Chain A
């Protein structure tokens, strides 16, 4: 099995991607490389590699190129660490052919930032139990490149909706409410670009949806070197299966967009003839910091967008804190109201 170990071209040590500098910095010899440097180095290596090609493709184990140990991985993992020597291993055959991502958004924030963000994020929640907001509860933090499908879709068609126009006026002792009923139709077309759908069954869709959006302007052409120092997965949801989620999101938004064009209120959709057409799909890897939180014996997943730093996760609610805050608020407000109504 072909494992791409990211070695420093000058000293041979493991060389991980640094999200801060967006370069590859060698901790041992202090050398620093850009993507171009690596590509040049890779090309030379390839010539030698092509001589002895891999035969066993779907193995769940591989030999660590650094220490030679047999490492067992999940069959969808494409980048990991050797459990024995800790060096970064990139399983190249899982990033080839149909599994070769076209683009990648590199990590922009570090593990420390993710840990820090979790602490600040949970602390900001009003009813968070005090014991929850502790870095101690973080059992594991992993930077994972998660497979995403990006779809470009064209929508053509129309909607028919019921709508109302309400006007009010008063005359004498009476208030009048006049409701005009309309049947409105809107036809049109629009394009959605890069609608993301999580391509891995391993990760919960709702968490992956919630860390959206990514800034696509920083998307780079895929290069396995970006995976160095992180974990990576390959997709296990086929692009046509994942598409149904994108399609329904696109359709909902298309309806909403056409409804915005109706100058009335109380709009209710009657029917639609919208046709969503997939124009293009892309297989990309997106950076996510996954935090496993162990609180009162229960494991919970928090996730941070590895590019924008957006943190998601359900912070538990302390009933004690909630009641206390509610009581204090009530008492203070009642005191203020009493002051206004009775003293002033």
Chain B
């Protein structure tokens, strides 16, 4: 009996320790009074609710395999690859897998998971997160801060192509590897030309870069024209002495008799012009599409079903 108990306890301990090492999904508990979120996020009712429903994890682990899609060794390799990416490109990288999505969408889960844990590099929390949502069978990439600039819509689309291919075949580990290597590939290329005049402001929003030339070209022409017209009107008002050439005010209108009128049609001429099809183009060459999550932080990215 005693022996049996010891074995059972040992097995239980083994089981626990096994779980700890393997899945590394140990989470901390958030409370109303201790939300454990970044101080930069303003606490509102909405934030409180979203944060409480988001697991608090150890942000150094990087791979959060809640859905148990990876083996321990796979997880280690992914961790090593992610770490080297983070070191090399000054952007954070996170891979999350889930079986149950308690939020409205894969996008919401990805954004909240990133925002309510201490992820991100620098003041704008630069980084990107891959979420494999087995509940909705959706893969989602969420970018934050400078990663929004680095991964424009076209690049996200391309990365998703590779990841999706692997996910369809249930090769989750390979999907993770593709995600890391493609992200690396584009980070190496630098910020795409589609985002060359965009920037991330201090609040992490994706905004147009302040460029003095484009500012001048956009803001100055109309005020300058208005000023010149007003000055011209003012100057002409200074010159009011001029010789009269007409005598209109001395014409007795009731004496005007039109005795003959003839309009002879001579010829007609029709010219045609092609209407230039430049209809109010807002975003000319792609760029990144952004949205803001429950925390108010801006995110880029995109997703696919698999």
Contacts and interface: CB of A to CB of B under 8 A. Distances in A.
B246 A176 contact: no
A262 to B, nearest CB: 7
Contact of A191 (B222, B227, B252): B252
Contact of A186 (B218, B226, B249, B258): B258
Given A192-B247, A312-B241, A175 B234 contact: no
Contacts of B267: 180-181
A173 to B, nearest CB: 6
B257 interface: yes
Given A249-B246, A314-B239, A338-B219, A190 B252 contact: yes
Q: Which of A173, A181, A333, A336 has the most CB of B within 10 A?
A: A333
Q: Is the interface of B mostly helix, strand, loop or mixed?
A: mixed
A337 interface: yes
A189 B243 contact: no
Contacts of B269: 178-179, 181
B157 to A, nearest CB: 30
A314 B266 contact: no
A341 to B, nearest CB: 6
A173 B277 contact: yes
Contact of B219 (A183, A213, A337): A337
Contacts of A195: 247, 250
B212 interface: no
A333 B231 CA distance: 14
A186 B261 CA distance: 5
Given A257-B256, A329-B230, A174 B274 contact: yes
A253 B275 contact: no
A233 to B, nearest CB: 20
B34 interface: no
A256 interface: yes
Contact of A249 (B227, B245, B258, B263): B245
A50 interface: no
B185 to A, nearest CB: 35
Contact of A127 (B219, B234, B243, B268): B234
B251 interface: yes
Contact of B223 (A128, A253, A334): A334
Given A178-B270, A213-B249, A189 B238 contact: no
Contacts of B237: 125-126
A330 interface: yes
A179 B230 CA distance: 34
B176 to A, nearest CB: 42
Interface stretch (A19-27, A203-211, A286-294): A203-211
Given A253-B251, A261-B261, A329 B226 contact: yes
A1 interface: no
A317 B235 contact: yes
Nearest to B256: A190
Interface residues of A, number: 69
A316 B231 CA distance: 14
Contact of B242 (A182, A209, A263): A209
A343 to B, nearest CB: 12
A316 B238 contact: yes
Interface in B138-182: none
B4 interface: no
Interface string A191-221: 1111100000000111101101100000000
B234 A205 contact: no
A182 B265 contact: yes
A188 B259 contact: yes
A174 B272 contact: yes
Contacts of A185: 260-262, 264
Given A173-B274, A312-B240, A192 B227 contact: no
A225 B1 CA distance: 147
A313 interface: yes
A125 B271 contact: no
A341 B218 contact: yes
A159 to B, nearest CB: 10
A313 B239 CA distance: 7
A171 to B, nearest CB: 9
A188 B275 contact: no
B2 to A, nearest CB: 77
A127 to B, nearest CB: 6
Contacts of A187: 258-261
Interface in B82-116: none
Contact of A205 (B226, B243, B268, B275): B243
B21 interface: no
Max count, chain A CB within 10 A of own CB: residue among B238, B273, B274: B238
B201 to A, nearest CB: 12
A244 to B, nearest CB: 13
Given A181-B267, A330-B223, 13 more contacts: A175-B275, A178-B269, A182-B264, A183-B264, A184-B264, A186-B260, A190-B252, A257-B251, A261-B258, A313-B240, A314-B239, A325-B231, A325-B234
9 contacts: A173-B274, A177-B270, A180-B265, A192-B247, A257-B251, A314-B238, A322-B234, A322-B235, A333-B226
